[in-house]
Chains A and B, each alone.
Chain A
Amino acid sequence: MKLAFQLAYKNLVGAGLRTWLNVGVLSFSFIVIIFYNGLIDGWNEQAKRDSIAWEFGHGQLRNAGYDPFDPFTILDGHGVLEQKQAENLTPILIRQASIYPQGRMFSVALKGIDANQTTLEIPTQALRESTAAMPVIIGKNMADAAKLETGDEVLLRWRDKDGTFDASSATIVQVFETNVPTVDNGQLWISIEKLWEMTGLQGHATLFVANEKYQPEQIPGWKYESQTELLSDITDIIATKKVSGSIMYLLLLAIALLAIFDTQVLSVFRRQKEIGTYISLGMTRAQVVGLFTVEGSMYSIFAMTVGSIIGIPLFTYLATKGIAFPTASASRDMGVAMAERIFPVFGIQLILGTILLVVIAATIVSFLPARKISKMDPVQALKGKLQ
């Protein structure tokens, strides 16, 4: 076997440009596979981390009448929880309202949140510390859409529990930056105490966000969504992205493998005398097939080496500096949590998995043409007669 590796190495190095072309294409595929998957994994981790920090916490206890995908349920989907049951939970009450920046009407979700909460990263301390009569905080996307800035006053119109209109001027005390559009787009955050006072819905909440100490329990009229369930949408999006991306890099890999396959077919055809010599020197047909297969699969070893030389510094750089995504804000408009800069994650599992994929695939495509050797007549092969 050692001989097979030595011979394979010498043959490949001896083949010169042909080898390096194959290795180049294969190492490019190797880098692209790792890069793409690393990027998607990085996005996945960032989206999950941000969604947990800004929206989901360690789970959510939602009023049974509330469905986040059905705005019709906001009106009645709220209730009161006993103080003991609400321990380790941050209440959020959602009401629908309108704001009138520069005389234009904007429908918004007015979200009341406990100003003392620390479960979510929403900067509610700004609500606590403000001296304005009606302090509110908004996300950057919302601020851009409504053309509002910190310190601006905007007329807010809402309805109380009986449906009676009320209106007052609200002060934007902070514009926060977040990658999670579901706490930003079309939303106004206000202290829940203030919202209770405004609507007369004292003690009511649409949902509660759990912190790490919360122990889920069955509460009639409420349904608990664990962190995993809440993150399943992101997981699904990422899985779809992975599949769609894999088509691209599998095509690239297929081209590289086709090149190896062609090279192998050509080798078996052109090196018949060599094959005959090996057999006449005492090698079995299987050994010769093994030799050619090792030679083919060695392309992948070379590709790994070249890929590592280029990839390690490149991936290290990308993982530390991140990749800027100018289209991130457009993605956020569509409701996908995406940062302006994504830091790819190149896990050991990904790298080993890719190595295994490339080596096995290269070995298989090398073996297929080499099988022909086992049917060769060594005498004819020695004579160099075409078979």
Chain B
Amino acid sequence: MKKIFALLVFSTFTLVAQAQDANAILDKVDINLSSKNRVIKSEMVIHGRRNSRTVTSQGWSEGDDRSMTEYLAPAREKGTKMLKLDDRLWIYSPSSDRIVQISGHMLRQSVMGSDLSYEDMMEDRKLQEMYTAKVTGEENLNGRKCWVLKLDGKVEDIAYQSRKIWVDQERYVPLKEELFAKSGQLLKKTEMKDVKKVDGRWFPMTMIYKDMLKDGKGTEFRLLEIKFDQQIPEYVFSKGALKK
């Protein structure tokens, strides 16, 4: 009986310790990935059924509620801008010279035919705010030792009920992520590659998004340039900047 009691106490402590570890890992991941603001230049390679196309863009973002993206290439998309303020999103298209607000079901449409929806692009809340984490194991991923973390939603208004992330044990950067529906169905998978040290933090420079319900090779998102904690003028996050 004593042995059983001791075992129970030990496993409880182990679980608590694991939970703490997981939260600490998430904290470090959030520190690595979040910043006051960031300015990025990126290219998105969208693999279609027959061919692939690359969309280059410049983006400014501040926290998790303000961001502006301007598409630079290809010529067809050049000048298109996307502004996100809180949970609202506007798109400016130079060909029609119109600003359109995207909401409702439109947010679930894919961005320029990619595997990312507008909603996916908009969601960048801290993982700690949305999930409780648990370390479920350790795995080697592309030669890097990783913790496997299971994240379960602790708030109601989240898009994905649970996630599974593989976090680099040395750099505290997620290298793989799987997003699940409430039913447990795998919906999306993200792979992070080319982890580099930028401004003292490790950051994945390539991300491959794959909508697991759709056929196709997924969408590759490459960061060509990233700068953290810059001075971004206030007007960048205004509707007026869309038409400029």
Contacts and interface: CB of A to CB of B under 8 A. Distances in A.
B158 interface: yes
B185 A105 contact: no
A100 interface: yes
B214 A166 contact: no
Interface in B204-240: 211, 213-216
A96 B181 contact: no
A164 B159 contact: yes
Given A74-B105, A96-B104, A164-B153, A103 B215 contact: yes
A65 to B, nearest CB: 12
Interface string A141-171: 0000000000000010101101111111000
Contacts of A293: none
Contacts of A164: 153, 156-161, 182
Contacts of B156: 162, 164
Contacts of B216: 103
B183 interface: yes
A98 to B, nearest CB: 7
Contacts of A96: 104-105, 108
Contacts of B159: 159, 163-165
A104 B160 contact: no
Determine which residue in A100, A159, A163, A167 has the highest number of CB atoms from chain B within 10 A of its CB, and name it.
A167
A226 B240 CA distance: 44
A167 B187 contact: yes
B103 interface: yes
Residue with the greatest number of chain A CB neighbours at <10 A, chosen from B104, B105, B161, B187: B105
A105 B156 CA distance: 26
A69 interface: no
Interface residues of B, number: 24
A96 B105 CA distance: 7
A111 to B, nearest CB: 14
Nearest to B215: A103
Contacts of B108: 96, 98, 107
B18 interface: no
Nearest to B158: A164
B93 interface: no
A162 B105 contact: no
A107 B109 contact: yes
A105 B117 CA distance: 12
A166 B214 CA distance: 15
Contacts of A105: 110, 211, 213-214
A167 B158 contact: no
Contacts of B215: 102-104
Given A74-B105, A96-B104, A160 B158 contact: no
Contacts of A160: 182
A163 B153 CA distance: 12
A174 to B, nearest CB: 24
A167 B157 CA distance: 17
A373 to B, nearest CB: 67
A88 B103 CA distance: 35
Given A160-B182, A164-B182, A71 B104 contact: yes
A75 interface: yes
Contacts of B183: 166-168
A157 B179 CA distance: 13
5 contacts: A98-B108, A107-B105, A107-B109, A162-B157, A168-B183
Given A74-B105, A155-B213, A168-B183, 13 more contacts: A96-B104, A96-B108, A103-B214, A104-B214, A104-B215, A105-B213, A105-B214, A107-B105, A107-B108, A107-B109, A166-B181, A167-B213, A168-B185
